[in-house]
A and B are shown apart, each in its own frame.
Chain A
Amino acid sequence: MSAELVRVTIDERDVHVPKGTNLVETALAAGLEIPVFCYEPRLGEPLGACRMCLVEVEGTPKLQAGCTLTAVDGMVVRTARTSQQAAEGQNATLEFILVNHPLDCPVCDKGGECPLQDLTFRYGPGNTRMSFEKLTFEKPIPISPTISLDRERCILCYRCTRFSEGVSEDLQLIAANRGSLSVITTFEDLPYKGAFTGNVTELCPVGALLPTQYRFEARPWEIVDVPTVCGLCPVGCNINATVREGKVKRILSRNHPEIDEGWICDKGRFAFTHLRAGDRLTQPLLRVRRHGLEAVSWEQAVDEAERLLREAHGRVVTVFSGSETVEQVYALGTLLRRGLDSHQAMLPEEISGGLDAYRLPLSSIRDADVVVVLGEVPVVERAPIVDLWIKAARRNGARILDDADDPAVAEAERVVLIWSGPGGRGGTTVAKLAEKLGLAERDGCGAFYLPETPNGRGVADAWAACCDEEGEDIDSIGLLVVSGDEAAGDDNVRALAEQADATIVISMFGGLAAGWADLVLPGTGYLERDGTFVNLEGRLQRLRRTVTPPCPDELEWIAELAARFDVDLAPYPAAIFAEVSQRVYGSLAYGEVGEVAPLRGYPEAPEQVARQPLPVPEQKARRGQIRLVAYKPLFSGPAVERVAELQFQRPQPELELSADDARRRKIANGDLVTVGSNGSAITLPARVNRRLRAGIARVALEHSDGLHGIVEIAKAEKVSA
Chain B
Amino acid sequence: MTTFYDEVQEIRARYPEGTRSAILPALQLAQERHGWLSREALEEVADALDLTPAYCYSVASFYDMLHLDPVGTHTVEVCTNVCCGLVNAQAVLDAFERELGVAPGETTEDGAITLRAVECLGGCSTPTIVAVDHRYRQSVTPEDVPAIVGELRGE
Contacts and interface: CB of A to CB of B under 8 A. Distances in A.
Interface string A139-182: 00000000000000000000001000100001111111110000
Nearest to B42: A187
Contact of A188 (B39, B50, B55): B39
A689 to B, nearest CB: 11
A58 to B, nearest CB: 37
Contacts of B21: none
Contacts of B58: 161, 174-176
Interface string B36-66: 0001001000000011111101100110000
A177 B61 contact: yes
Contacts of B62: 177-178
Contacts of B55: 165, 171, 174
Interface in A429-475: none
A690 B61 CA distance: 27
A358 B51 CA distance: 36
B50 A174 contact: no
B61 A171 contact: no
B90 to A, nearest CB: 24
- Would you call the interface of chain B mostly helix, strand, loop, or mixed? helix
Nearest to A190: B54
Contact of A186 (B42, B51, B54): B54
B61 A187 contact: no
B50 A690 contact: yes
Nearest to B60: A176
A174 B52 CA distance: 10
Contacts of B51: 171
Contacts of A188: 39, 53, 57
Interface residues of B, number: 12
B57 A170 contact: no
Given A177-B62, A178-B62, A187 B50 contact: no
Contacts of A690: 50
B61 A176 contact: yes
Given A171-B55, A188-B39, A178 B61 contact: yes
A172 B62 CA distance: 16
Contact of B57 (A161, A165, A174, A178): A174
Contacts of A161: 58
A176 B57 contact: yes
A190 B57 CA distance: 13
A281 B147 CA distance: 81
Contacts of A172: 52, 54
Nearest to A170: B52
Interface string B12-28: 00000000000000000
A171 B58 CA distance: 10
Interface residues of A, number: 16
Contacts of A178: 61-62
A193 B53 CA distance: 13
Contacts of A165: 55
Looking at B42, B54, B57, which has the most chain A CB atoms within 10 Å of its CB? B54
Contact of B52 (A171, A175, A176, A177): A171
Nearest to B52: A171
Nearest to B62: A178
A172 B46 CA distance: 12
A174 to B, nearest CB: 4
A174 B62 CA distance: 12
Looking at A161, A173, A188, A690, which has the most chain B CB atoms within 10 Å of its CB? A188
B37 to A, nearest CB: 12
Nearest to B63: A178
A95 to B, nearest CB: 27
B116 to A, nearest CB: 16
Contacts of B52: 170-172, 187
Interface in A30-69: none
Contacts of A190: 54
B22 to A, nearest CB: 16
Contacts of B54: 171-174, 186-187, 190
A170 B51 CA distance: 9
A173 B54 CA distance: 7
Contacts of A187: 42, 52-54, 57
B44 to A, nearest CB: 12
Nearest to B55: A171
Interface in A282-319: none
Contacts of A170: 52
A186 B42 CA distance: 13
Nearest to B57: A187
B34 to A, nearest CB: 15
B111 to A, nearest CB: 23
Looking at B39, B50, B55, which has the most chain A CB atoms within 10 Å of its CB? B55
A190 B51 CA distance: 16
Looking at B51, B55, B58, which has the most chain A CB atoms within 10 Å of its CB? B58
A490 to B, nearest CB: 36
A165 B53 CA distance: 13
Contacts of A175: 58
Interface string A678-717: 0000000000001000000000000000000000000000
B76 to A, nearest CB: 23
Contacts of B53: 187-188
A188 B43 CA distance: 11
A254 to B, nearest CB: 30
Nearest to B58: A174
A358 B66 CA distance: 53
A190 B52 CA distance: 12
Nearest to B54: A187
A192 to B, nearest CB: 9
Contacts of B61: 176-178
A178 B58 CA distance: 10
A176 B61 CA distance: 6
A166 to B, nearest CB: 12
A175 B62 CA distance: 9
A187 B52 CA distance: 9
Looking at A187, A190, A690, which has the most chain B CB atoms within 10 Å of its CB? A187
B47 to A, nearest CB: 9
- Top 9 A-B pairs ranked by shortest CB distance? A174-B58, A187-B54, A171-B52, A176-B61, A171-B55, A187-B53, A174-B54, A172-B54, A177-B61
Given A174-B57, A176-B58, A177-B61, 13 more contacts: A170-B52, A171-B54, A171-B55, A172-B52, A173-B54, A174-B54, A174-B55, A178-B62, A186-B54, A187-B42, A187-B53, A187-B54, A190-B54
15 contacts: A171-B54, A171-B55, A172-B54, A173-B54, A174-B54, A174-B58, A175-B58, A176-B57, A176-B58, A178-B62, A186-B54, A187-B42, A188-B57, A190-B54, A690-B50
